[in-house]
Chains A and B, each alone.
Chain A
């Protein structure tokens, strides 16, 4: 999908405290979206918006562009706290960024920066090892096992029986998933400042959680995740990503009608 920006415009990556970006500090050495324009900051008071110019740049939803957006924010995150913008946000001009975002949103942005101060986001997604999940259900639930064997022995099994087996299985997956998710959360939340659990949208996913973790606690949190992964090896699969800017812990949406 090509989305070429033809007019002068300013792509926004995020908002950070101004101090680490004032004169005397090195510029951000990371390519902007589209790999072309230099990444720079627009400063107002104690806030800095991290931006780059986009005319002539294709900012469509593509892998390279997503990675560029992400890399800029990772670079900023190495230097300071940052409130990330959703991918693909383009302001008409630097003035709009200064007036609509930094000036009108000044106090809210400072509040949010205070909330995430010194923290990063770590994402933990947990999945069932499928074969193991179904084996456990068949072992633990007599009704499921009986129905399974009945269906296996009947050559012309009705689909109604299969549906019943499927429904029983689904109910069992829900119970088992909630139990395991609670166990994982109990351990990980001890090392986090805040957490956000999102819905599982896959049948074998049992936990989809984001954690706000103080930088100095990150090693501890890593250890807790790795420990869970080892204890549950062959049973649960952990997808662990980070550190990210605190995407999931920002509650700001600007209408920007000013």
Chain B
């Protein structure tokens, strides 16, 4: 058996959408998953002859992540962002670098509808978005769009007055 040095190119990840933090938090477990995804998938020991059953998905994912954007499009977006600095009350520029790779990343690192539904069903009195965000350690935008889809599909309902999400079929507790 031959043992060779691993020359696979290391990869980073696109920036997550979301609010900035004033101070640093050390993340682990679910909250840090998105940050260490490429490490878990691409680093560590590999035995070529052994099956990596999920390899197809991994290749697509890392290809997308590796797609470095260096194009006219980028320059135009930079120009746009710099242009905004001229305005007195400049609106926050759109997050750069959002695209297919980030969507794929969220698909893998974010919770599925089933997971969210299971959590809602375990908490029939209703759950706030912030609670789901803390539990799943994922970004708010993605959770919001998933929940909106679930409400639209009828698998979940939103009590807009109290900002509580419920599983369908469970009436909010009235007191």
Q: Decide: B12 and A200 in contact? CB cutoff 8 A.
A: yes
Binary contact track A142-171/B, C-beta < 8 Å → 1, others 0: 001000110110000001001101110110
A42 shortest CB reach to chain B, Å: 14
CB distance from B9 to the nearest CB of A (A): 8
**In whole angstroms, what is the CA distance A5 to B52 when docked?**
11
- With A152-B83, A208-B12: A60-B54 Cβ-Cβ less than 8 Å: yes
- Say if the beta carbon of B51 comes within 8 Å of chain A: yes
Contact A205 to B33, CB < 8 A, known contacts A242-B28, A254-B46, A255-B2: no
Query: What residue in chain A is nearest B10 (Cβ atoms)?
Result: A198
Verify A89–B27 contact, CB threshold 8 A.
no
A63, B47: Cβ atoms closer than 8 Å? no
With A61-B58, A201-B14 in contact, do A238 and B52 touch (Cβ < 8 Å)? no
Contacts of A134 in B (CB 8 A): 81-82, 84-85, 93
B157 at the interface (CB under 8 A from A): no
Give residues of chain A (154-193) contacting chain B, Cβ–Cβ below 8 Å: 159, 162-163, 165-167, 169-170, 173
1/0 contact trace for B5-21 toward A, CB 8 Å? 11001111111000011
Whether A127 contacts B12 by the Cβ 8 Å rule is no
Query: Is B83 within 8 A of A148, CB to CB?
Result: yes
Residue ID in chain A nearest B56 by CB atoms: A1
Please pick, from B30, B58, B72, B82, the residue contacting A169 in the complex, using a CB distance under 8 A.
B82
Size class of the A contact interface (CB-based, 8 Å): 35 or more
Q: Is A70 a contact of B45 with CB atoms below 8 Å?
A: no
B130 interface hit (Cβ, 8 Å): no
Stretch at the interface among B105-113, B148-156, B159-167: B105-113
Query: A201 and B44 in contact (CB under 8 A), knowing A88-B58, A100-B1, A105-B3?
Result: no
Q: How far is the CB of B113 from chain A (nearest CB, A)?
A: 12
Which residue of the partner chain, among A86, A222, A234, A245, contacts B46 with CB atoms under 8 Å?
Answer: A86
Q: Identify A100's interface contact among B47, B81, B84, CB under 8 A.
A: B47
* Contact of B86 with A by CB under 8 A: yes
**Within the complex, which residue of B11, B15, B53, B78 is in contact with A60, where a contact is CB–CB below 8 Å?**
B53
CB distance from B48 to the nearest CB of A (A): 5
* Complexed CA–CA distance, A36 and B84 (Å): 53
B153: min CB distance to chain A, Å = 20
Tell yes or no: B35 within 8 A of A by CB: yes
Stretch at the interface among B60-68, B119-127, B139-147: B60-68
Task: List the 8 shortest-distance A-B pairs measured between CB atoms, nearest first.
Answer: A166-B75, A229-B24, A256-B49, A241-B32, A198-B10, A247-B43, A208-B12, A61-B57
Q: Which residues of B contact A (CB under 8 A)?
A: 1-6, 9-15, 20-30, 32-33, 35-37, 39-58, 61, 65-66, 68-69, 72, 74-79, 81-86, 90, 92-93, 95-97, 108-112, 115
- List 10 other contacts, CB 8 Å, given A100-B49, A254-B3: A64-B115, A87-B40, A88-B54, A101-B47, A134-B82, A138-B85, A148-B85, A162-B76, A201-B13, A247-B39
